[in-house]
Structure 1
């Protein structure tokens, strides 16, 4: 695995660097396999990236792209806390992506049922049976000040999952305090490319610790356990 660290000096540089990673991953995936499997992240950090991608200056082969999500809250899709709603409002509703190519996590079903449905969806679509992991071309992630990523929080039982792609996660001790569905570590690590998009402000201690790495099995800093099969990108804005 190759690790790439991009310390951006401006918001514009951050957006360009992230969009370039998406465009390159998409081009390579479609050229080599005929489709691009992309997992989107929630939260505020990727929203300017999604806005940039919606403008069309970066030529993404949307007709050959299938969009999944790295995590979701157990809320309906129209809820303002929904990661799907954020992505739909900013990006998905503005691009020529076939409706059937969006694989949202159905948070309105409750975390456990939604995780089971997401598991069936990704395995049915890719044809990969447990305990093997389907291979995403690119997984986008964020990072919290506590070192969580997706909805993998410090000490979470989800960090010990070995056979599933998606599991339910308890409501964290931060807002919004709702149950979650999260992509698991084995599924993330199986991806060809993973990009962690984060700001440095208020997260410097966790960021430095994450970049330094951690011992396998350490549950205190989940983002430090992230890897990829080919390329791991850290794209850091001021």
Structure 2
């Protein structure tokens, strides 16, 4: 399968590109369905997009509902909280109604919270299998995405939409994560990946297409779009790099 990707010059360009995509998707969703359902991701890669959304215009915040594709089992003010990072970069700076910000309660019992969050998603979306308008995802150096790690039983889950997962290694936090069926149901799934530290993982997913990697499975099931900076794309072959750079040129071409 040929991946869909955009390769931007730098991380800041990735942020601007992703923010613009989100605004367009939000406006379209509100026009067609009256609201916009967006799942945010953790990590450093999406922070530039969050900052751009916070400083930009055109986003229908009063019609937007926010979710998280995964969360560490920590309180919201913990330095490792995905909610906390998004709150600092975005939520504290925009006029979104507080009752439309649906964080995963990482401080609660993980299994019970996963059940609560799944029920919440179904209730807000009004569907047994919610179709979120945009789901943002990152990529770990080991090929994980959301909190679906290589070898984890969560990767094989097909009935539940949100599950608790054990800490992936000693010294790390347990997690709560979307599962593959929920991600694959998204109207748009966007991987946002920046930095040279992710280059090898990007190549393993997009060039080699290693079937055992969670990100490979998620990308194939969801027909995801990848937005990379040049550092993250540096280990890709020439054909993929040319395709990604052409896609970036189309993104930035002036509209008349």
Does 1:195 find its partner at 2:198?
A: no
In structure 2, do the counterparts of structure 1 residues 228 and 19 end up closer, same or farther at CA, with 3 Å as the change threshold? farther
In structure 2, do the counterparts of structure 1 residues 190 and 4 end up closer, same or farther at CA, with 3 Å as the change threshold? same
CA RMSD of aligned residues (A): 2.0
In structure 2, do the counterparts of structure 1 residues 205 and 54 end up closer, same or farther at CA, with 3 Å as the change threshold? same
CA contact 1:192–1:231 (8 Å) conserved in 2: no
Unaligned runs of 5+ in 2: 232-256
Does 1:145 find its partner at 2:141?
A: yes
Normalised by the size of structure 1, how large is the TM-score? 0.90
In structure 2, do the counterparts of structure 1 residues 72 and 120 end up closer, same or farther at CA, with 3 Å as the change threshold? same
- SS of corresponding position for 1:96: coil
Does 1:226 find its partner at 2:222?
A: no
- SS of corresponding position for 2:205: helix
- SS of corresponding position for 1:195: strand
In the aligned structure 1, how far is the partner of 2:110 from the partner of 2:45?
A: 24
The corresponding residue for 2:68 is 69
CA contact 1:191–1:229 (8 Å) conserved in 2: no
User: Residue deviations 1:48-95, cap 9 Å, x none?
Assistant: 11111111x241111000000000011111111111111111101110
Which of 153, 159, 163 pairs up with 1:163? Answer: 159
In structure 2, do the counterparts of structure 1 residues 167 and 194 end up closer, same or farther at CA, with 3 Å as the change threshold? same
In the aligned structure 2, how far is the partner of 1:231 from the partner of 1:155?
A: 22
Aligned residues: 230
Give the deviation of 1:11 after TM superposition: 2.5
- SS of corresponding position for 1:202: helix
In the aligned structure 2, how far is the partner of 1:11 from the partner of 1:212?
A: 21
In structure 2, do the counterparts of structure 1 residues 30 and 208 end up closer, same or farther at CA, with 3 Å as the change threshold? same
- SS of corresponding position for 1:107: coil
In the aligned structure 1, how far is the partner of 2:102 from the partner of 2:223?
A: 24
Give the deviation of 1:120 after TM superposition: 1.4
In the aligned structure 2, how far is the partner of 1:117 from the partner of 1:18?
A: 29
The corresponding residue for 1:39 is 39
> Equivalent residues in 2 for 1:76-87 (5 A)?
76-87=75-86
CA contact 1:193–1:229 (8 Å) conserved in 2: no
Normalised by the size of structure 2, how large is the TM-score? 0.84
Unaligned runs of 5+ in 1: none
- SS of corresponding position for 1:147: coil
In the aligned structure 1, how far is the partner of 2:134 from the partner of 2:11?
A: 22
The corresponding residue for 2:251 is none
User: Residue deviations 1:140-170, cap 9 Å, x none?
Assistant: 0000110000000001110011122110011
- SS of corresponding position for 1:203: helix
Q: Which moved more, 1:62-71 or 1:220-229?
A: 220-229
In the aligned structure 1, how far is the partner of 2:89 from the partner of 2:194?
A: 20
Q: Which moved more, 1:6-15 or 1:85-94?
A: 6-15
In the aligned structure 1, how far is the partner of 2:228 from the partner of 2:43?
A: 15
In structure 2, do the counterparts of structure 1 residues 2 and 62 end up closer, same or farther at CA, with 3 Å as the change threshold? farther
